[in-house]
Amino acid sequence: MEKKTFKLGLVPKLIIAIIVGILIGQFMPEGICRAVVTASGLFSTFLKFVIPLMIVAYVTMGIADLSQGAGKLLLITVCIAYGSTLIAGSASYLVAANLFPHFMSAGALEQIAETADKSLPSFFSMQIIPLLDTLSAVVLAFILGLCLSTMRGKEIGDSLYNVMKDFSGIIDKVLHNVIIPLLPLYICGTFVDMTYSGKTFVILGILWKVFLVVILMHLICILLQFMLAGTVSKKNPFALIKNQLPGYTTALGTQSSAATIPVNLKCAEADGVCEQIRNFVVPLCANIHMAGSMITITACATAVCLMNQLPISLATVIPFIMTLGIAMVASPGAPGGSIMTALPFLYMVFGATAGDPNGPICAIMVALYITQDSFGTACNVSGDNAIGVIVETIYRRFICKSSAQ
């Protein structure tokens, strides 16, 4: 009789990593904290190197394996992701503009400014330059995938397809044997830094009511997205949300949509999304679907305007959201990537003087955003799988059916 081996699931491992990170940051000496942050930083560097390769492998094969309508499906996915981002940002402003004036305190701005640059340094770092940035990887994957989908067996043979298939298998091996097992270490290091430096908890102590509203907006956004996905696909939305828990927890810890791709692919598989659709939609939406980040950025921008008595209205916010929805496609899928991409466009809300990317207002904006980054990222990646369910339903009901006729 074989002994049953107890295997701890990914979600418990991530929760344990968060708790251990907070405990180390709170009670351990600086040397131990810096050692954990150093190990986490080295893994983060390796992850940033692998992410573009992952996008090329998965998105290329996801599109190449689509027997019909690859171009249509790409357009549909981009439109859904962009529409979701715009709606989320607009709703965030309307909620923030009506609720936040009741939460603002006079001395909040100065207290937040003091925490903006606090961080725990690592002992050393190692630079591994990625072969491609994320946007270049997405564009290359589009070109390869669409051309393989339309030309294979007609104008070209199977050689390139087989190379990409083998390459995808190699990336699979790296993900399952290296990246996923080490994700708890990465998350632990993030929380050690946040706890030891104290910046997150200082800001939360000042504006906890604001952040509570933002987190509730994220959760409502996720619920609505999966309700829509469940209605379209005729699947139980609460079962879909349950399947998303590992991806949500991973995003909370990593603060990175790209770093969550391996776990999110498993969540999509649990949702019953077929391999070619999930390999196409999940890595793509990790770069173009930013509903959670847009909720956070819009809410934080509204809070900063209210604290500084700067004028803000829906007429100001809508062009900002529309521009940022496109610009964030180029944001790195790493912690704080979205706000760094947003900095050059904040003048559209704050004005030319207050919106200087190197000025104090933008520094406070970064500090506010980073505090909420975990929940915004978790909202982003959860929405990616809701979009995956919708896209697969459209693919099966309309594209495959029209091609068969």
Cα dist from 71 to 84, 195, 290, whole Å: 20, 46, 22
In sequence order, the 6+-apart residues with CB closer than 8 A to the CB of 273 are 281, 385, 388, 389, 392
pLDDT at residue 1 in the model: 44
Task: Return the minimum-mean-pLDDT range out of 178-192, 225-239, 264-278, 330-344.
Answer: 330-344
Q: What are the tens digits of pLDDT across the range 29-57?
A: 888 888 988 988 888 888 778 878 887 88
Q: What are the tens digits of pLDDT across the range 53-104?
A: 887 887 788 777 765 666 788 888 889 999 999 999 999 999 998 988 877 6
The CA distance from 265 to 278, in Å, is 6
Q: What are the tens digits of pLDDT across the range 142-162?
A: 788 888 877 776 777 778 888
Tell me: pLDDT of 387 over 90: yes
Closest CA to 40 of 135, 119, 133, 129: 119
The CA distance from 268 to 259, in Å, is 15
Q: What are the tens digits of pLDDT across the range 372-383?
A: 788 988 999 999
- Estimate the crossing angle of helix 10-27 against helix 30-64, to 10 degrees: 150
Pick the CATH number of 10-404 from 1.10.3860.10, 3.30.420.40, 1.10.3720.10, 3.40.50.2000: 1.10.3860.10
Selected residue with higher pLDDT from 362 and 240 = 240
Region 133-147: mean pLDDT is 80
Selected residue with higher pLDDT from 400 and 279 = 279
pLDDT at residue 155 in the model: 74
Q: Which residue has the tokens 């009670």?
A: 27
* Percent of the chain clearing pLDDT 90 (strictly above): 20
pTM score, whole prediction: 0.73
pLDDT at residue 51 in the model: 76
The CA distance from 60 to 385, in Å, is 18
